């Protein structure tokens, strides 16, 4: 797992993807931060995260598109799958590498709340909640991206499908409101990734939500492992 994690992390910064990701992310964060907290003189970063979440739908697609699709396309998966490593190790190595790039941006973004603490009195609980929520929400997004990347050989298809799926998830709450059948609406509502995130943003640390996101990540990665395993039998 370590070898794959290291390799993937390196690959992000050997290709432009890592830089584009971090660069675009930071620039937009700064813009949204200026546009919410600074412009309205409020000590609150939830506005910044609310905006950046939308951008992230797009960025995560780019971050995860190559993880498995490229290996298959270039046939380098033969090296990984015939080396003495298990498929879960491969999947986790890649997942954590993508999470690490994302984590890096998150660490740098700590500068924004630091500014708030310098000049105002933001709620520590809300900021901590926001960060916890963001890590879990985006952790789930990245897991979806990893799964989709394992389903195709084409990076382009992986990116576009991931973006489509994430966009659908983003609009889910709005769609649910228009569904007449109660049980379907209830089910989709329960599944909504964004609704739970809002609770974190208000500084509520609900264990149920944490478990929900972690299970979501687990299931997506589990399906990734199964997808790769299944291909060996087809």
Partner 1 sequence: MASTTENAVIEICELTKKYGSKKAVDNISLSVKRGEVLGFLGPNGAGKSTTMNILTGYISATSGKALVDGTDVLEDPKTVKTKIGYLPENPPLYFDMTVLEYLNFVYELKKVTLSRKKHIEEIMKTVKIDGVADRMIKNLSKGYKQRVGLAQALIGNPEVLILDEPTVGLDPKQIIEIRDVIKVLGKDRTVILSTHILQEVTAVCDRVAIINHGKLIAMDSLKNLSARFGEKGMYLIRALGTKSAVKELLESIEGLKSIRYISSTEPDTVDFKIAFKDGLDLRKRIFEVFASANLPILEFKSLDLTLEEIFIKVTNDENLAQVAAKNNEKGAAEDESNI
Residues that bind partner 1 (CB under 8 A): 2-4, 6-7, 11, 14-15, 74-86, 232-234
96: Cβ contacts below 8 Å, ≥ 6 apart: 1, 5
Shortest reach from residue 71's CB to partner 1, in Å: 9
Q: Return the axis-axis angle of helices 111-119 and 16-33, rounded to nearest 10°.
A: 20
Which CB atom, from 10 or from 186, has the smaller least distance to partner 1?
Answer: 10
CB of 12 to partner 1, least distance (A): 11
Q: Which is nearer to partner 1, 76 or 202 (CB)?
A: 76
Q: Which is nearer to partner 1, 44 or 89 (CB)?
A: 89
Could you tell me the smallest distance in angstroms from the CB atom of residue 220 to partner 1? 24
Phi, psi of 83 (to 5 degrees): -90, 155
Angle at 39 between CA 35 and CA 41, to 5 degrees: 130
Which residue, 51 or 154, is less far from partner 1 as judged by CB? 154
Closest separation in Å from C-beta 74 to partner 1: 8
Nearer Cβ to partner 1 (66/196) = 66
Cα 53 from Cα 57, distance rounded (Å): 7
- Closest approach of Cβ 4 to partner 1, in Å? 7
Eight-class DSSP state of 153: S
Reported as half-sphere exposure (CB side, CA atoms, 13 A), residue 128 has a value of 7
For residue 166, give every residue at least 6 positions away whose Cβ sits within 8 Å of its Cβ, in sequence order, or none.
57, 60, 61, 141, 144, 145
């Amino acid at each position: 797992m370590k070898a794959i994690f290291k390799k993937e992390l390196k690959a992000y910064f050997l290709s432009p993807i890592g830089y584009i990701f971090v660069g675009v992310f930071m620039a937009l964060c700064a813009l949204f931060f200026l546009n919410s907290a600074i412009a309205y003189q409020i000590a609150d970063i939830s506005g910044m995260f609310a905006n950046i979440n939308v951008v992230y739908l797009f960025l995560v697609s780019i971050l995860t598109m190559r993880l498995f699709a490229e290996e298959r396309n270039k046939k380098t998966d033969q090296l990984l799958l015939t080396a003495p490593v298990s498929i879960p190790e491969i999947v986790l190595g890649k997942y954590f590498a993508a999470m690490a790039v994302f984590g890096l941006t998150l660490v740098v973004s700590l500068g924004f709340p630091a500014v708030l603490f310098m000049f105002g009195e933001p709620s520590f609980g809300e900021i901590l909640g926001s960060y916890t929520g963001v890590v879990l929400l985006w952790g789930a997004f990245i897991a979806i991206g990893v799964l989709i990347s394992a389903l195709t050989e084409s990076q382009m298809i992986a990116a576009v499908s991931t973006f489509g799926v994430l966009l659908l998830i983003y609009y889910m709450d709005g769609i649910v409101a228009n569904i007449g059948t109660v049980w379907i609406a209830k089910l989709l509502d329960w599944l909504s990734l964004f609704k739970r995130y809002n609770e974190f943003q208000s500084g509520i640390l609900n264990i149920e939500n944490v478990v929900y996101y972690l299970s979501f990540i687990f299931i997506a990665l589990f399906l990734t492992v199964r997808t790769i395993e299944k291909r060996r039998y087809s």
